[in-house]
Amino acid sequence: MTDEIVKRYLNKIKNELKGLDDKEINSMLNELESHIMDRAQEMVKEKGLKEPTVEIYEKVIQKLGDPEKIGKGLRMIELKSSSIKKIFVDHPAPSVFIFSCLLFGFLGCIFGFIAIIWAASILPVLVIIFLGVIIVLGAVLCAFYLWPIYDTYYTIAPSGITVKYGPWVHTYPWDVFEHVYVRKGMFSSRIGWASVTPCVRLTNAVEFKRKEGWSLFITPNDIRDFLQKVSLFANDLTREAMF
């Protein structure tokens, strides 16, 4: 009889979890059942009994609360937890081959510039200037294309948004922002500033307007999906965002 009380209670919770992964449902129910049993055993010891009674199980269940509400709460937590795994990519890390080519090109420019300086005494001035300009432009071009080494990922969680930009990783709580907007145009004036525009591409951006200081401009690979995930945890911020 006592086992039936717990089973009926858990089944009501299970009904609210339909649609979730079966393994996750079983894990939640097993954890709840274990919790009920532990609380029941504590009450058994307090009352000096040998085993839990119907009244003890009913008291434990009553303290836990309405099973439908518990089920809906667990469902919401699970749905939000699954969205934490969603990572939006701005710049993926370059492959080893591409990085190697760019690195060798950059080093070649550096050594070429050193060679020009070494041979300056036997080369005409105009030739030196011409070769110097070409090599400097080549070095700048290679350095620009080494930019993707700062791989950038945005991860959304209940606690806030985590920005990984190269070696920098920082989590911004939702309550530091006032609003979120979609901004059209190219945001290149502060590219590389980890706390303002972490590796932002020359494209439309999502602006997280801070309550104090500069806004945070980011460019996720899927702005619409990104904002939908943000709205799960910070719906007030996205009310003025058009997506």
How confident is the model at residue 2, as a pLDDT? Answer: 52
**Per-residue confidence of the chain (243 residues) as pLDDT tens digits?**
457 888 888 888 888 887 777 877 888 888 888 888 888 888 888 878 778 888 888 888 888 788 888 887 777 666 655 555 557 777 666 566 766 776 777 777 777 767 766 766 666 766 667 777 777 777 666 666 565 566 788 888 777 898 888 778 889 999 899 999 888 876 556 666 777 878 777 778 889 999 988 889 888 888 888 888 888 778 788 876 665
What six digits make up the tokens of 217? Answer: 């401009």
Whole-angstrom Cα Rg for the chain? 29
- Please name which of 4, 10, 1 lies closest in space to residue 64, comparing C-alpha atoms: 10
How confident is the model at residue 176, as a pLDDT? Answer: 93
Q: Which is it for strands 87-91 and 168-173: parallel, antiparallel or unpaired? A: unpaired
How confident is the model at residue 210, as a pLDDT? Answer: 92
- Please name which of 64, 77, 51 lies closest in space to residue 9, comparing C-alpha atoms: 64
- Please name which of 25, 32, 26, 31 lies closest in space to residue 9, comparing C-alpha atoms: 32
pLDDT digits 0-9 by tens, 119-142: 666 667 666 677 777 777 776 666
Q: CB-side exposure of 167: number of CA atoms within 13 Å?
A: 0
C-alpha–C-alpha distance, residues 183 and 227, integer Å: 13
C-alpha–C-alpha distance, residues 241 and 16, integer Å: 32
Under 8 Å CB-to-CB from 161, ≥6 apart: which residues? 154, 155, 171, 172, 174, 208, 230
Helix (H, G, I), strand (E, B) or coil at 170: strand
How confident is the model at residue 208, as a pLDDT? Answer: 92
C-alpha–C-alpha distance, residues 14 and 67, integer Å: 9
How confident is the model at residue 83, as a pLDDT? Answer: 52
pLDDT digits 0-9 by tens, 152-184: 888 887 778 988 887 788 899 998 999 998 888
Beta bridge partner(s), residue 206: 182, 218
Residue 17 CB: number of other CB atoms within 10 A?
Answer: 20
